[in-house]
Amino acid sequence: TVRTRKQIIDHERVASYAFAFDIDGVIVRGPETIPEARDALRMLNGDNKYNIKVPYIFITNGGGRSEKARCRDLSKRLNITVTEDQVIQGHTPMKDLVPVYKNVLVVGGMLDSCRKVAQDYGFKNVYIPLDIMKWNPSVTPYYQLSDEEKAVARDVDFSKVPIDAILVFADSRNWAADQQIILEILLSKNGVMGTVAKDPSENKVGLYFAHSDFVWATDYGLSRYGMGALQVSIAALYQEHTGRELQVTRFGKPQRGTFRFAEKVLSNWRRNTLSEHVEQLNLEDAEASDSPLSDSEDEATDTEGAPLEQTDKLVLDLPPASTVYFVGDTPESDIRFANSHDSSWYSILVKTGVFQGNTTPKYQPKKICENVLEAVKFAIEREH
Ligand code: G3P
Ligand code: MG
């Protein structure tokens, strides 16, 4: 059977469109998995009336653990296989800072989980607030380290260690202690604890946040403060001290840098998805060519009729996705993200997270759906 690139794509039913999903408030709510999410992803994996497989990735502002751990959690919750190539967390693009800074203070998350993530990214000297609180407990007068925290804290003399950058990877579990330490370092001489710069503008410590969500959806009935609220608090304290506006660099949605990063991840993932099919088809061709050729049997050809080389992957000239459906629950991050950077992204707002359907979204989505399954059904019907 002659198979052209187009037929292989059509035959194999790999969609020209794609999906990207926010996680908190769309797929999960805290420890709970949103029930419709399983069926939604199953549909995209091919269980739909068109037998079409639709590539998808996840873009969350969440973090605090490795992308590998996040994939394991999603795979278990959704009963599918999610790989690291499909997942972007708030701090994932912070890998680009590895060559820039030597001593980094990583803030947020449980115990030393974020230290491990930063080390996996390649940061050499990674410190956490627990190390500082172990070095000198009077840094945070009202808080004593638990035995568990003492066990993960490192012995470091911070009077001799200049912090070059503060990376807030995940939500702080101790706002008082973390803010006390962050402000001290931002007002210090060269990032050394226990010192004060004569002029705050001399302080060159970098300050990076994995996202700016003011609130996020958990398993509680009302939204909870996120990293964006922490930024407001830190900026207010810094303003109070210095009369100056705090300079920060933000990652995550809705930032443009995150969008560019996501487009690369999606393009690679679509390539993966398609090349799996091409591998499979080439394998079938190879097996078929070992069997006596019937006269109707021809080798696969490309659209111009030239024979498809065994190594010729269909995906070499993979065009960008015709439409990327982005499903989110927070207008200020998800809808703004999908609406701001490329018209081929189609924003869908669901009512299972921060947005509940009883307010006017600050950023207008192209479609509002009850939940992620309705969003997937709507998009597939829209495409066929
Ligand atoms: O801490 C994560 C939260 O702010 C939002 O995560 O998945 O909705 O982008 P997500
Ligand atoms: Mg969300």
Q: Are 37 and 44 in contact (CB under 8 A)?
A: no
61 Cβ inside 6 Å of ligand 1: yes
pLDDT value of position 283: 72
The residue to mutate among 22, 33, 113, having the most atoms of ligand 1 within 8 angstroms of its beta carbon, is 22
pLDDT value of position 296: 38
332 Cβ inside 6 Å of ligand 1: no
Rounded (5°) CA angle 259-61-34: 115
Q: Nearest 10 degrees: CA dihedral of 35, 36, 42, 46?
A: 170
201: tokens are 């503008």
- Report the alpha-carbon distance of residue 382 to residue 360 in Å, rounded: 24
Q: What mean pLDDT is predicted for residues 343-366? A: 97
Question: For residue 329, which atom of ligand 1 is closest to its CA?
Answer: 8
Measured in Å, residue 130 CA sits from the centre of ligand 1 at 24
- Report the alpha-carbon distance of residue 380 to residue 272 in Å, rounded: 21
pLDDT tens digits, 356-384:
999 999 999 999 999 999 999 999 999 99
- Report the alpha-carbon distance of residue 363 to residue 238 in Å, rounded: 30
pLDDT tens digits, 60-110:
999 999 999 999 999 999 999 999 999 999 999 999 999 999 999 999 999
CB-neighbour burial class of residue 381 (10 A; exposed 0-12, middle 13-18, buried 19+): exposed
60 Cβ inside 6 Å of ligand 1: yes
pLDDT value of position 27: 98
Helix 175-186 / helix 227-242 crossing angle, nearest 10 deg: 40
**In the predicted model, is pLDDT for residue 3 greater than 60?**
no
pLDDT tens digits, 15-72:
999 999 999 999 999 999 999 999 999 999 999 999 999 999 999 999 999 999 999 9
pLDDT value of position 290: 64
Rounded (5°) CA angle 95-320-307: 115
308: tokens are 């498809």
251 Cβ inside 6 Å of ligand 1: no
Classify residue 319 by its DSSP letter: P
Classify residue 168 by its DSSP letter: E
**In the predicted model, is pLDDT for residue 285 greater than 90?**
no
Find how far residue 338's CA is from the centre of its chain. 14
- Report the alpha-carbon distance of residue 341 to residue 351 in Å, rounded: 23
Largest CA distance in the chain: 87
Per DSSP, the chain holds a count of helices (H) and strands (E) of 11, 15
213 Cβ inside 6 Å of ligand 1: yes
219: tokens are 């398993």
pLDDT value of position 292: 44
pLDDT value of position 277: 66
**In the predicted model, is pLDDT for residue 168 greater than 80?**
yes
Question: For residue 23, which atom of ligand 1 is closest to its CA?
Answer: 7
Element housing 149 (H / E): helix 147-152
Mean of the per-residue pLDDT values of the chain: 90
